[in-house]
Amino acid sequence: MAGPGTAWAGVQFLPVGTLFTPLLADPKETRFSANMVYTRYPPRDARGASVSAGGEIGLLREVSEMSSDTQWQLGISGGAFGEFDLDSPSSDLVNVDYSIGFPFTFRQGRASVRFRPYHQSSHVGDEFLLRNLVQRVDFAYDSLETLVSIEEATVRIYAGGEYFIRRQPENLKRQLAHGGLEARSPRPYSSGPLGNIWLVAAVDVKSWEEMKWSPAWSVKGGFEWAAQVRPGESRRSLSFLVIYYDGFTPYGQFYPERLDFWGFGMSLTL
């Protein structure tokens, strides 16, 4: 059912929540997060932090009283994703990626689709650049993303990909495959007046043509504190997670490199 908001002619303005549940393990999903990580940049190890700020706001949604009906929603999403080197004297900002997109989502029952044109640009931190004398790369792209998701009682699977319409450098390969699996406990680990706490685990995999289709694995597991969990409702949640990543770097300025890291963090999904 439609949440609070102003509705006319079967369309709701500024609806609450999203029709496509945000991805738990994707490091570039727009949300608020803060993570302490131990990163391996061969041949050295470093303590680091990754933070993000962002989310999705619904603009228009089709109003439906039947959960079996197909609904659509148009929204706007944006985020900033930063990486910091905590072993440097001033905890240098290494890289920050900015993204803005316009997700168009559909849901029918437990099936949902997200079609999202978006732009990302990447920028290296000034102090990191001066201290390390690295070669700055002008890295930016416009992409079309399509993901299909199926949610069952305790398991969710999703798959899709992206196609870079415009990219810089211009010789970047255009195609990226994306998929993943999420699971939650069949019953809350704890229940209370402020919501339920669930055990959650997820794996997200991306394979980019530019990296010769070598997969990048992102794995997360821990606790999610959420007030609402039924499909199609607003699932604002606070998560405490152990994280692991292995593959091509998710930080755009250093896209040709590979790295692995593990750590722990907290994330807030609006």
Question: For residues 231 and 42, which has the higher predicted lDDT (pLDDT)?
Answer: 42
Which pLDDT score, from 0 to 100, does residue 63 have?
Answer: 81
Between 234 and 65, the more confident residue is 65
Which helix (H) or strand (E) segment holds residue 242: the answer is strand 237-248
Is 1 domain-assigned?
no
Q: Is residue 73 part of a domain?
A: yes
Whole-prediction pTM: 0.91
Q: How far apart, in whole angstroms, are the C-alpha atoms of residue 75 and residue 103?
A: 5
Q: Is the pLDDT of residue 5 over 80?
A: no
Please check whether residue 234 lies inside any domain of the structure. Answer: yes
Q: What's the rounded Cα separation, in Å, for the pair 18 and 1?
A: 12
Q: What is the pLDDT of residues 147-164, one digit of tens each?
A: 999 999 899 999 999 999
Residue-averaged pLDDT of the chain:
90
Residue 10: inside a domain: yes
Residue 9, both tokens: 């002619």
CATH code where residue 32 lies? 2.40.230.10
**In terms of C-beta density within 10 A (0-12 exposed, 13-18 middle, 19 or more buried), how is residue 114 classed?**
buried
The residue type found at 4 is P
Give per-residue pLDDT as tens, 27-57: 999 999 999 999 876 656 889 999 999 999 9
pLDDT in the model for residue 1: 40
The verdict on residue 172 lying in a domain is: yes
Q: How many domains does the chain have?
A: 1
Q: Which amino acid, residue 109?
A: G
Structural domain containing residue 113: 6-269
With respect to residue 154, please indicate whether it lies within any of the assigned structural domains: yes
**pLDDT band, very low/low/confident/very high, at 60 (cuts 50, 70, 90):** very high
Structural domain includes residue 25? yes
215 belongs to a structural domain? yes
Mean pLDDT of 124-152: 89
